[in-house]
Amino acid sequence: MLNGQGQRHFVKFVWTPELGVHSLVWDEALKLGGQDPDFHRKDLYEAIEAGSYPKWKFGIQVIPEGREHEFDFDILDSTKIWPEDLVPTQYIGEFVLNRNVDEFFTETEQVAFCTSHVVPGVGFSDDPLLQGRNFSYFDTQITRLGINWEELPINRPVCPVMNFNRDGAMKHRIHKGKVNYWPNRFSAAPPATVSEGGYPDYMQKVTGIKARLNGPKFKEHFNQARLFYNSLSPIEQIHVQRAFAFELDHCDEPIVYERMCQRLYDINPALAATVSEMVGGPLEPPESPKPQAAPTKPTLLKAKALSQLEFPAANPTIVTRKVAVLLADGFDATAVKHLKTAITAAGAIPMIIAPRRNNIIPTGGSSAGGITADHHLEGARSTMFDAILIPPGPQSIATLRSHGRAIHWIREAFGHLKAIGALGSDAVRFLGEALGGDVIGKLQIGTTDGKVVSSYGIVTKSVYSGDEEQEWWQKWKIARDEVSFVSAFFYEISLHRNWQRDLDGLPNLVAF
Amino acid sequence: MLNGQGQRHFVKFVWTPELGVHSLVWDEALKLGGQDPDFHRKDLYEAIEAGSYPKWKFGIQVIPEGREHEFDFDILDSTKIWPEDLVPTQYIGEFVLNRNVDEFFTETEQVAFCTSHVVPGVGFSDDPLLQGRNFSYFDTQITRLGINWEELPINRPVCPVMNFNRDGAMKHRIHKGKVNYWPNRFSAAPPATVSEGGYPDYMQKVTGIKARLNGPKFKEHFNQARLFYNSLSPIEQIHVQRAFAFELDHCDEPIVYERMCQRLYDINPALAATVSEMVGGPLEPPESPKPQAAPTKPTLLKAKALSQLEFPAANPTIVTRKVAVLLADGFDATAVKHLKTAITAAGAIPMIIAPRRNNIIPTGGSSAGGITADHHLEGARSTMFDAILIPPGPQSIATLRSHGRAIHWIREAFGHLKAIGALGSDAVRFLGEALGGDVIGKLQIGTTDGKVVSSYGIVTKSVYSGDEEQEWWQKWKIARDEVSFVSAFFYEISLHRNWQRDLDGLPNLVAF
Amino acid sequence: MLNGQGQRHFVKFVWTPELGVHSLVWDEALKLGGQDPDFHRKDLYEAIEAGSYPKWKFGIQVIPEGREHEFDFDILDSTKIWPEDLVPTQYIGEFVLNRNVDEFFTETEQVAFCTSHVVPGVGFSDDPLLQGRNFSYFDTQITRLGINWEELPINRPVCPVMNFNRDGAMKHRIHKGKVNYWPNRFSAAPPATVSEGGYPDYMQKVTGIKARLNGPKFKEHFNQARLFYNSLSPIEQIHVQRAFAFELDHCDEPIVYERMCQRLYDINPALAATVSEMVGGPLEPPESPKPQAAPTKPTLLKAKALSQLEFPAANPTIVTRKVAVLLADGFDATAVKHLKTAITAAGAIPMIIAPRRNNIIPTGGSSAGGITADHHLEGARSTMFDAILIPPGPQSIATLRSHGRAIHWIREAFGHLKAIGALGSDAVRFLGEALGGDVIGKLQIGTTDGKVVSSYGIVTKSVYSGDEEQEWWQKWKIARDEVSFVSAFFYEISLHRNWQRDLDGLPNLVAF
Amino acid sequence: MLNGQGQRHFVKFVWTPELGVHSLVWDEALKLGGQDPDFHRKDLYEAIEAGSYPKWKFGIQVIPEGREHEFDFDILDSTKIWPEDLVPTQYIGEFVLNRNVDEFFTETEQVAFCTSHVVPGVGFSDDPLLQGRNFSYFDTQITRLGINWEELPINRPVCPVMNFNRDGAMKHRIHKGKVNYWPNRFSAAPPATVSEGGYPDYMQKVTGIKARLNGPKFKEHFNQARLFYNSLSPIEQIHVQRAFAFELDHCDEPIVYERMCQRLYDINPALAATVSEMVGGPLEPPESPKPQAAPTKPTLLKAKALSQLEFPAANPTIVTRKVAVLLADGFDATAVKHLKTAITAAGAIPMIIAPRRNNIIPTGGSSAGGITADHHLEGARSTMFDAILIPPGPQSIATLRSHGRAIHWIREAFGHLKAIGALGSDAVRFLGEALGGDVIGKLQIGTTDGKVVSSYGIVTKSVYSGDEEQEWWQKWKIARDEVSFVSAFFYEISLHRNWQRDLDGLPNLVAF
């Protein structure tokens, strides 16, 4: 980027989501891939339709041209990050997705991005990936869409443009007049000068040898891999180990998984040994080739802003979260009504899951007072929800207990580290049976004294009476150490996953 | 076509040009092909730009469905004409080209016609060429332009359209809403019924054998060829003979030109013998295969409206005609001024042709009084003009006489049967020398008594004096037997070609 | 098809797989979609690579042209079947896939099928779907691949071909000589006549009205839907109910799922009521529009060859089946070796699943005697296997018991109706714990007397001693009522699924 | 290019035709464009078919890298030549076209050249045109033909190639095996090193400023234009003047033709004044902007090898030349037979042109002894021939004289500066009449003493007797000052055009 004085800076763009950084756990991703391959797309679409516009802070990392060589990595190697400890992010704007397209094909399938299209003030560094893209993106759009892709409604500039390509397949714009080049005999339409807002080319000094080579910093592959692994939280390091173990498990050729494990020894011996044991790799660093030492002592051993856990939402929130409310005929109508009210008021979406969709009748209710479930137990899965809530109702709980699939909803959500709430003695007991004795022995659940207990993301209250309303569904607050059921449950949802549950090995005790 | 009562008629469209039917002679076409391959396109473009809009009368020939089989030819064989003697043309409208495109590529290259696009009231006959085109035109447009060719500005309907193709490469239109088919759950946008103006399908009775065959009338190839040749004027028959002789002259394989000549014997023995002599074919009808007799006696031996000569302009006119005015330094300024005025007033275009373009000085004139020629003698050719005019001016004529190319302008225009005018004794004498004694012996040219002489399209007047102005350039009239020079010259131009000159063999006496 | 006498017959092709008809259960399909979207493709590829060539019997159903209108459905409506009770299948050949492609893109992505390419003796019926395809397939291949798609190695004829398209993008074949049409001046390369093997066109009589309509039999939509549902086995009818319940559960617009349920009432009231309850549709047949009665009494109420269960393999076999052998350190080496031998000898594939891949050590074994597992417990899932086998080894079983994921392997396979075998008292006890008391109460498992017990596809034998070898892994036989463990287990695998388990509601008792 | 020592040289390729450099004259080109747009293509095709293979000497101009800046022009500006006086051409090979394609589309339309495809030893200079082409040629071939254009028979390498693109539309080659990149796990197929014949990259030193600019030598536009014009022969300078005059004659906007004339004043005032007069430009160098002076005194004012006239064939030859032999009934059969024999023996092609093709009868001959003409007088034109020969035969000559077109053949060939031969008193007299008195007065033609006279390319001999045979058609020799008719005529043909005829203004005296 050029500033107003024409000074050049290397710049990276940084987008930080307002609601924090979240992701699927691996088993969930594997399942959603089959259950709903459009899961993420649908999530984005529905949030925008509902007015919960996804928002990102927009930041830049800036290195003045003169400081280009001060780092122990090549800043133009796009496989390298610029650690924020060295190059802080400055937030300068925001990015909001506030409208869905009217028609998918025309406005989404035909979108064409092009790295070579820039505005005055933005130029091209020598990043080889960028240079390659400058050619290939344009070529790609021509191949995908045709030479007049820039005329498509979704791609065309919103301001008037003075210089056009003419002709080519599927040309829509009709040019009048004879002048389409400069200079021309009418001296018409000269290109804008820099002072008029025209594009400034940077007169770059070049000196060196032109050859098909990468510099030594480009070839240093391990420092940043070590920096990245070191900078992760413990649970993320475990996930990295499992990810390698999963993927290499599918590889049958020893030369491939052994080489991969050797590369891991180059980065971190503990990581490498763990993965090797799972996939059949060498349990010790190989004698030959020996793990590669860093050629020079790296500036940083650990950096901030690389772990997801450093990006929570600014304030705890459950906005856009989906809560599955498990029930059957004989549920407690008042409790369910109030729980739904609270969830909705918090910006989250309660969805009723029952053995069937058709007219579920509450305790003492009649057919006319029933509710239609959003899904039956087979029609959706826990993977599609952020939390599970089991409301009171003895008959309702008894019915759920007879459905293996209902039990699996609870186990699976537990395995995926999600918040689970149970209200009333039947619901709490059912929850305990569903998770099994090994698990229950390790966590605390609501006892008969009516206290709300929150343990490993499981929020329970054994005693339920109707007159507690005020406390629960109108005065909730999303914060740590809140004592009401709703507040405590919402706080656990706001954390999205209970990582400690995974760190302490609880999911392994549950079949899911 | 269906009429208001739903009765079906077979219909042919007929377009008759307002200014009459004209064409190039063969030598002219050969030369223009090299000198200006865009000649006809430019002619059309310039006429429209100048406001002389090309106009056609639009007629139809109509055969009610019940009379389909009353003819001795298959009316659905598109290689056959419907003789106007049997099926008269009814003129019902006109067709005017009144605007040039703003941009050639977008609006001309991308035009896509499609026989399968019809309005209510028009349907498809069993004409096999039409049926094939219904498929191939649509396919062709997809291949040429892409599936969304109907959205291009030049192709898209000017009225709103209810039913769309969706998606496909280079889609510009963005559809809102969910309904794009019928029936739909909203019962929205049903197709228009016939009574609402929807397209009426004709419920056609079909009976017969489905096979890959053509009927016997389809296989009768000679009746209409004979009818066509018989219906031509004598000069057109000569041109047909020459055209065959020219084309077959380029064929070196005896089997090919001999077979072609045999086919001509099937049509007309005199035509065949003439062509055969020129190209090396059989001088007598072959014994085997013998010329084919018509299987049945044809209804017509000769038909009207097949000869160009039957389509003169309604009133003699020289509108849009180009007249080359040949001159050099020393031309008679007054005469040229007045001749140009008259030509322009008649709607034709005078263009000065001189040894150079730069400032041509009239008799007794100065450099300041000169005129710029439109072209020098080498820059244009007589082929690009409809007539040649040689104005008075002794020195001008003397200079022209020294240019072989000026002489060739006159010879070539003579050979191409065009009107030539010469005014004043020098001009008339120069004209005579240019054409040569053999020609001059056969036509009359202006003598010393000052009479205007018009002979074989050559209009001459030997005596020129300035005080004849009123008669000439203000009172002209385009009609046969007018006595003034301008009127007589214009009348010859209005005939376009002097066919008698060709019939009497005069061009053959001139080297051009 | 035309026979040797030129008589025309309507023909349907029928392909019957040699190993019987099998399919995934729904939960399995949902999961495999995410875990391995290439599951079926890989299955086919690996079977071919392993020499277990997939084979189909090829049959035809034949209706002579004269009998076309004898059926209560339109035989040219491709949404209708031809019941085998009315038109028996005659098997006339077989179809074997005996080679994988060398390169995927060139030989699979570029394959182009074309309904309009037929050999002499095959013609085109008036089936509107076929007629449409004859145009669209050719067009599609041109759009996908280009006009010269027939020249690609995978598409081009293996015999010499006399007539070619010429030119067009990416033309590879170079034609020599001048003749490319008929007739030609050399009378070369005439088209083959029918007697020389040329294509015979059928001269079809046509009579009627040409209109955009379907006949009444085309519009009768329910008879065959009823016939189909009636002809299914009880478990397949349940699966149809569940499939509707699953899909309509995802539909939020009442007008859509209610209409769909109304259509089901048109077909079968019990089916409709069951689905309606699950998805929120009408529990009674609607008053308006009333369910549609069949316009005429249908010929058949039930037909054979519509249920998968009518297509078992000719002889029970476990060829190509995959058996997951669950074990951990401390497994019984001898038992595992012999079980693997037996499985392999039967043409099936044993795969070791353990907590890790790296060197699993048997009871009393050393590191050197260990085996590498094929996958660890997270690396694969039960969905990818046809059966589960738990071999003896107390320490091995104790380790598996501590892994929730191991327990889930067993539950999920049980839920998916697969065969499960357990050998030795520890293994049988572990199996019981994994499935839970509710299930175990409903089935029989091996007791201490050493008998092999087979119950709902679960094959158990509590007593294991090494000297039983001869009986087990060398003398097995795949047949009902065999008494040895291996024979009984193999027989259950050969059945693929234990449908009775599903009919009796056992999967519902297991959380999976 | 790199030599064996890795030293880099700038190299230009030079192709010099064996038969000398020839070209059309302008009027001929204009006419052939219409008469036979394929004229040159056909000429090449027929020469190759006839075994007269077109051959070029292949030379290189070499500038060692160190001398790059020694010239007063930028050697990388592809609009500049490298004068042979400064950089001599070294001939190192030859280039022969010895086969026509079997099929035009496949092997000519689909040919794809690509500047970025080079062999080891050839690299890319910084020539901006070359650099642009390296991208655009590849892109163009993809757009024209598709990504697999390199697989087309006409484009694919004749040697085995190790590295392929995979996939992409219309892929024909089927790759076996898994390795398609380097490095790979099998360490298979490493790229060839330079010592093994692999491509050597040149490690070029680069230093400077990267900007969108051209250097000052790139911007010097006139020195080489002056050098070029100065180096032409007088007749070529005249042709340049006429070419400008012709083209600018078609331009109607004064600003355009005046600016063009100003540019000519920058180059050569005489050229500019001549053109200006013809097209209406300024007759004097403009005051403003003044003609541009060369910024520095140029090294050369004139250079060799820029005039066509410096490239005659090594030895005079008439190989591949076409001679039109004009005759009619009553020609002298013996003379014609012997003249044809001589022409054919010299490697040229005699073609008989007569009033018709059919059976032309010689003097005293019968119908049986006639010959078939190759073309009639209208079927071909003099433009398609290199020379004209009028053989004896009083009746033949008399007939030709009555055809204006025959006279025009002679005039036109004279105007196009071609050799014309006339033998016998009738023929010589006819030739004189055809050219007209003005011309005849300026050249010498054969008189009654029987001498062969050669004047301005017109070779005549008035006295013809049969016993001179030996001298004529068996002992001819193509050389200056030969005295026999055939030898003198052939020599004039070998010169192709008689430039002196044009220099002395003779064509202007003939109308053609």
3-state helix/strand/coil string of A288-319:
CCCCCCCCCCCCCCCCCCCCHHHCCCCCCCCC
Query: Measured between CA atoms, how close is B252 to chain C, in angstroms?
Result: 13
* CB of B99 less than 8 A from some CB of A: no
Tell which C residues from 118 to 147 touch D, by Cβ distance under 8 Å.
145-146
* Contacting residues for A388 by C-beta, under 8 A, at least 6 apart: A323, A324, A326, A382, A409, A410, A413, A418, A419, A420, A421
Q: Half-sphere exposure of A162 toward its Cβ, with a 13 Å CA cutoff?
A: 9
The answer, for B277 touching chain A at a CB cutoff of 8 Å, is no
What pLDDT score does B470 carry? Answer: 61
Residues in chain C: 512
Report the number of secondary-structure helices (H) and strands (E) in chain C.
17, 11
What is the Cα–Cα distance from A267 to B173, expressed in whole angstroms? 53
Per DSSP bridges, beta strands D204-210 and A204-210 are antiparallel
Q: What is the pLDDT of residue B163?
A: 65
C116 touches chain A (CB under 8 A): no
The per-residue pLDDT for C160 is 76
Rounded to the nearest 5°, which phi and psi values hold at C376? -90, 175
| Mean pLDDT, range D257-278, rounded to an integer | 96
* CA–CA separation, B332 and B394 (whole Å): 8
pLDDT of C192 reads: 87
Q: How large is the average pLDDT for residues A149-176?
A: 86
Token output for A396? 């309702």
Chains in contact with A via at least 3 Cβ–Cβ pairs below 8 Å: B, C, D
The answer to whether A270 and A232 have CB atoms below 8 angstroms apart is no
Tokens of B511: 């080297």
β D419-423/D387-390 pair status: parallel
CB D37 within 8 A of CB D82: no
Instruction: Of D320, D374, D384, give the one whose Cα is nearest residue D33.
Output: D384
Positive/negative CA dihedral, B114, B119, B122, B125 = positive
Identify all chain C residues contacting A403, using CB atoms and an 8 Å cutoff.
508
3-state helix, strand, coil in chain D (%, to 5): 40, 15, 50
Name the neighbours of B, counting chains with at least 3 Cβ pairs within 8 A: A, C, D
Among D109, D153, D176, beta carbon nearest to C172: D153
Cβ burial, residue C284 (10 Å; 0-12/13-18/19+): exposed
The Cα–Cα gap between C56 and C291 comes to: 40
For D34, the closest of B31, B356, B380 (CB atoms) is B31
DSSP B404-440: HHHHHHHHHHHHTT-EEEEESHHHHHHHHHHH-HHHH
Digit-by-digit pLDDT tens for chain C (512 residues) are 999 888 999 999 999 999 999 999 999 999 999 999 999 999 999 999 999 999 999 999 999 999 999 999 999 999 999 999 999 999 999 999 999 999 999 999 999 999 999 999 999 999 999 999 999 999 999 999 999 999 999 999 888 776 667 889 999 998 888 787 888 888 888 888 888 888 988 888 888 888 888 888 988 999 999 999 999 999 999 999 999 999 999 999 999 999 999 999 999 999 999 999 999 999 999 887 788 776 678 889 999 999 999 999 989 999 999 999 999 999 999 999 999 999 999 999 999 999 999 999 999 888 888 999 999 999 999 999 999 999 999 999 999 999 999 999 999 999 999 999 999 999 999 999 999 999 999 999 987 778 999 999 999 999 987 766 566 778 899 999 888 999 999 999 999 999 999 999 999 999 99
List the single residue in A with minimal CA-CA distance to D168: A143
Q: How far apart are CA C229 and CA C304, in angstroms?
A: 12
- Distance between CA atoms of residues A279 and A277, nearest Å: 6
Helix, strand, or coil (residue D307): coil
Instruction: Please report the pLDDT score of residue B158 as a whole number.
Output: 87
pLDDT interval class at A53 (50, 70, 90): very high
- D160-204 tens-digit pLDDT: 776 667 889 999 998 888 787 888 888 888 888 888 888 988 888
Closest CA to A346 of A494, A151, A128, A500: A494
Q: Is B437 on the interface with D (CB under 8 A)?
A: no
> pLDDT: is C177 or B25 the higher one?
B25
Structure tokens at A14: 């940084």
Asked if B405 reaches chain D (Cβ–Cβ under 8 Å), the answer is yes
Mean pLDDT, residues D357-366? 93
- Closest by CA to A512, choosing from C458, C396, C403, C507, is C403
Distance CA C444, CA C422 (A): 13
Contact of C455 with C445, CB cutoff 8 Å: yes
- Its pTM stands at 0.89
pLDDT-based confidence at D40, cuts 50/70/90? very high
Q: How far apart are CA D79 and CA D218, in angstroms?
A: 9
Q: What is the mean pLDDT of residues D291-306?
A: 84
**Which residues partner with D14 through β-bridges?**
D59
d(CA A149, CA A111): 9
The ipTM estimated for the assembled molecules is 0.93
Q: Does D180 touch chain A (CB under 8 A)?
A: no
pLDDT one-digit tens code per residue, B311-353: 999 899 999 999 999 999 999 999 999 999 999 999 999 999 9
Identify the CA nearest to A124 among candidates A68, A190, A65, A202: A202
Q: Does residue A162 have a pLDDT over 80?
A: no
- The nearest CA of chain D is from the CA of C110 a distance in Å of 8
Residue D82 pLDDT > 90, yes or no? yes
DSSP state of C256: H
Burial class (CB in 10 A: 0-12, 13-18, 19+), C351: middle
Distance (Å, rounded) from C-alpha A30 to C-alpha B294?
81
Between chains, do B206 and C205 touch, taking CB under 8 Å as contact? no
Q: What is the pLDDT of residue A142?
A: 92
Cα(C36)–Cα(C381) distance, integer angstroms: 10
B204 lies within 8 A of chain C by CB: yes
DSSP 8-state class, residue B382: G
Comparing alpha-carbon positions, the chain C residue that sits nearest to B259 is: C185
Q: What is the pLDDT of residue B467?
A: 63
Q: What is the pLDDT of residue A358?
A: 96
For B447-466, write each residue's pLDDT tens digit: 777 899 999 999 999 998 77
Does the pLDDT at position D372 exceed 90?
yes
Look at A210 and D205 and tell me if their CB atoms are within 8 Å: yes
Does residue B469 carry a pLDDT above 60? no
Amino acid at A334: T
Confidence check: pLDDT of A469 > 60: no
Phi, psi of B266, deg, nearest 5: -60, -25
Which residues in chain B are closer than 8 Å to A173, comparing Cβ atoms? 106
Instruction: Please give the single-letter amino acid code of residue D342.
Output: A
Of B358, B379, B507, which has the smallest distance from its Cβ to D404's Cβ?
A: B507
Beta-sheet pairing, B204-210 with C204-210 = antiparallel
- Assign residue B170 a region (left: φ > 0; alpha: ψ between -120 and 50; beta: otherwise): left
Which residues are CB-neighbours of D268 under 8 A, at least 6 positions away? D226, D229, D230
B11-26: string of b/e by CB count within 10 Å (b at 16+)?
eeebebebbbeeebbe
Best residue in A172, A173, A175, A180 for a mutation probing chain B (most B CBs within 10 Å): A172
CA gap A160, B88 in Å, rounded:
56
pLDDT band at A117 (very low <50, low <70, confident <90, very high): very high
Region of C20 (left: φ > 0; alpha: ψ -120 to 50; beta: rest) is: left
Residue A31 has pLDDT above 60, yes or no: yes
pLDDT grade, residue B218 (50/70/90)?
A: confident
Task: Find residues 181-200 of chain A whose CB sits inside 8 Å of chain C.
Answer: none
CA distance C166 to D107: 12
3-class secondary structure, A321: coil
* Whether B358 and D250 lie within 8 Å, measured CB to CB: no
Using only C-alpha atoms, chain A has a radius of gyration, in whole angstroms, of 29
